[in-house]
């Protein structure tokens, strides 16, 4: 019985370590981009103030066509469509539950991880931390038309 308990504990420890390692392998395997259509769709029925809606619109306009490259050494390179680059850093929390991203212009609290696969990364919105909408990342495709036109405020905002 004692042997089984030790085996289970070792397996749990190994699984938690490999999760963080798997995340690093996935996130560094290619460049990423925001999935604007999915992000807007996820906010369809959420109550947003006019200021929050404007923030989301501005973020989507700025990140349209941008790539996010997570390098194995912890460097984050955000390249906008116009060629402008912002350098920062990234890391995954010790428990594998949050992704931290920061640039020289901002510091970031952890972004809670909801989904993490080689095809999609979903980071939860946390209004108390200033993230009013989830970040949904998909593999970068420079030819993608990964956007939906902004909808009228009445459709994006629940009154």
pLDDT (tens digit per residue) in 83-112: 999 999 999 999 999 999 888 766 667 889
Q: From CA 127, how far away is CA 130, in angstroms rounded?
A: 5
**φ and ψ of 17, to 5 deg:** -70, -45
In angstroms, what CA-CA distances link 66 with 12, 28, 106, 122? 38, 16, 18, 17
Q: Domain 2-150 belongs to what topology?
A: Lipocalin (2.40.128)
What pLDDT is attached to residue 47?
A: 83
How do the domains of the chain map onto residue ranges? 2-150
Write out the H or E segment, with its range, that includes residue 21: helix 2-28
pLDDT (tens digit per residue) in 4-45: 444 433 344 444 444 667 999 999 999 999 999 999 898 888
């Amino acid at each position: 019985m004692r042997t089984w308990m030790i085996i289970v504990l070792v397996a749990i420890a190994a699984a938690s370590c490999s999760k963080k390692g798997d995340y690093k392998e996935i996130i560094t395997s290619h460049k990423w981009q925001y999935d604007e259509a999915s992000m807007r769709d996820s906010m369809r029925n959420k109550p947003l103030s006019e200021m929050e809606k404007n923030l989301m619109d501005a973020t989507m306009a700025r990140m349209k066509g941008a790539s996010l490259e997570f390098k194995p050494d912890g460097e984050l390179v955000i390249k906008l469509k116009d060629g402008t680059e912002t350098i920062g850093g990234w890391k995954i929390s010790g428990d594998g539950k949050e992704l931290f991203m920061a640039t020289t212009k901002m510091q970031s609290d952890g972004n809670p991880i909801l989904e993490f696969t080689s095809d999609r990364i979903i980071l939860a919105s946390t209004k108390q931390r200033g993230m009013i909408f989830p970040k949904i990342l998909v593999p970068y495709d420079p030819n993608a038309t990964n956007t939906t036109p902004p909808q009228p405020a009445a459709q994006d905002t629940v009154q």
